[in-house]
Every structure is written in C-alpha cells, then in structure tokens.
C-alpha cells in the first residue's frame, strides 16, 4: 500500500496542506502516523478524492498439485491469458489442501495491502480445495473482486482423487494414533470410575468416542 506526504497529497488534490488537516479531522481523508510522528496519506484514497481513475491490477492464478500435471497447468494458464490478456499471471505447483503455498500466501498478502483489485481463477478448487468462501470473504473485505471462470475442464479429476486419499490418510493416521493409546485411556477412565463413582455408561461412551474421533 503506497503512501504520500502531505505536500504530495496537496499537489495531487490541488489544495493547501492546511486543507488536508481539516479534511482529516472531518473524516474525509484518512492519515497514518509514522514512527517519527509524521503524517502520511494513502495514495489510492487521495486519488479517489481527487477523482483520478483507479488503476485496476488484475492477477490470474493457476495451480496443479504435481509437476506431472504440467499439461493441465498450461491449459489453465492459456485460458486465463485468453480471458485477461492484460493481467499478471501467477502459477504454482502444490496441493489445494496446503494453505501454506508460498505464492498463494503472497497473493493474499497483496490483496490485504490493496495491491490486487481483481483475482481470476479457472475454478474454485484451483485456489483452495476447501475454504473457498473464507478466501472470497477476505477478497470482499479488502475490495478485491474474485472472478471464477468456472471451467470444470480445467479442474483435473485425478487431483480430486489424490486430495481425497490425502484426507483419508490423515484421519486414518489420527485414528491409528488414538487406538495405540486406547488401553491407556480405558485404564485411566476406569480408575476415575472407582475413585469418583462416575457413571459407567458415560465412561464406555467416552472410550468409544476416543476410538472414533
């Protein structure tokens, strides 16, 4: 997010610097303070007040899960470039279940900073496999339009199967981990029953929950 000094803002608006102070007090124009106490104005807000047409930065994002899907990725990128030839195109290889993808996080940071006004994807699962509505909410909050072309041909079915298997493996591992400690959990709960007189039915249900959670 770019900032300008009061002098620079006044030049853009064609007013005296003292007018900026009054507009700030009236809430017409927001200012921030630097660590040294100096005022700075957000350039996009100054241009908005001045009536300067806003430059819309468009970013197209394409993604596949593995390097073996390069053909799928190229088809995505070609489709995105055809639809938005003036846009910046970013591609990434990584699972849609992974929210720590570097380029994905970098795009979110740029949206928060106001650097991207339109984000374009071929299909919702190219952005994230789950949690799309949360990302959509974040885009709306920071005034970034999220455009989904909804081309299902660019959403590889094989990748969906891989993601589902990853989820099953994850929960199976957790379930196996709980089963390893099932006997210890059961012994501890039985001790509680003896010491504190806890309802046996409640104890048995707790053991069952531990086994299937």
Q: How far is CA 39 from the centre of its chain?
A: 31
Condensed to tens digits (0 to 9), the pLDDT of residues 84-100 reads 999 999 999 998 888 99
Q: How far apart are CA 160 and CA 67, in angstroms?
A: 15
CB 164 within 8 A of CB 156: no
Q: Residue 119: which of 134, 133, 135 has the closest Cα?
A: 135
Flag whether pLDDT at 200 surpasses 80: no
- When computed from its CA atoms, the radius of gyration of the chain, rounded to whole angstroms, is 27
Q: Which residue has the higher pLDDT, 93 or 156?
A: 93
Mean pLDDT of the chain: 79
Catalytic positions = 65
| pTM, two decimal places | 0.57
Q: How confident is the model at residue 2 (pLDDT cuts 50, 70, 90)?
A: confident
Q: What proportion of the chain, given as a percentage, has pLDDT over 90?
A: 35
For 167, residues 6+ apart whose C-beta sits below 8 A from its C-beta are 97
Hey, how many other C-beta atoms are within 10 angstroms of the C-beta on 60? 24
Q: Flag whether pLDDT at 5 surpasses 50.
A: yes
Distance CA 5, CA 11 (A): 10
Task: State the average pLDDT over residues 190-213.
Answer: 47
Half-sphere exposure of 201 (CA within 13 A, CB side): 0
pLDDT in tens, 106-121: 999 999 988 899 999 9
Structure-block tokens of residue 162: 């891989």
Looking at the DSSP bridge assignments, the partners of residue 89 are: 60
**182 has a pLDDT exceeding 80:** no
Question: Could you give the CA distance from residue 212 to residue 207 in angstroms, rounded to a whole number?
Answer: 9
Provide the sign of the torsion angle of the four alpha carbons 208, 210, 212, 213, taken in this order: positive
Do 179 and 144 touch, CB atoms closer than 8 A?
no
Task: Say what the pLDDT of residue 212 is.
Answer: 45
Q: What is the pLDDT of residue 144?
A: 94
């Amino acid at each position: 997010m770019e900032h300008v000094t009061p002098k620079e803002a006044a030049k853009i608006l064609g007013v005296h610097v003292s007018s900026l102070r009054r507009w700030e007090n009236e809430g017409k124009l927001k200012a921030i303070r630097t660590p040294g106490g100096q005022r700075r104005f957000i350039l996009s807000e100054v241009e908005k007040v001045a009536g300067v047409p806003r430059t819309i930065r468009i970013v197209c994002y394409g993604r596949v899960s593995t390097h073996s899907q390069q053909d799928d990725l190229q088809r995505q990128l070609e489709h995105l470039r055809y639809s938005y030839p003036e846009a910046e195109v970013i591609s990434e290889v990584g699972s849609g279940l992974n929210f720590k993808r570097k380029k994905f996080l970098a795009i979110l940071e740029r949206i928060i900073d106001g650097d991207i006004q339109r984000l374009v994807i071929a299909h919702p699962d190219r952005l994230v496999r789950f949690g799309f509505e949360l990302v959509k909410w974040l885009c709306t909050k920071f005034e970034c339009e999220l455009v989904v072309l909804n081309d299902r041909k660019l959403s590889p079915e094989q990748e969906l199967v891989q993601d589902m298997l990853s989820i099953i493996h994850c929960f199976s591992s957790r379930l196996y981990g709980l089963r390893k400690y099932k006997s210890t959990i059961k012994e501890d709960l039985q001790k509680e029953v003896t010491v504190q007189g806890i309802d046996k039915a409640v104890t048995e249900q707790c053991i069952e929950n531990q086994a299937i959670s």
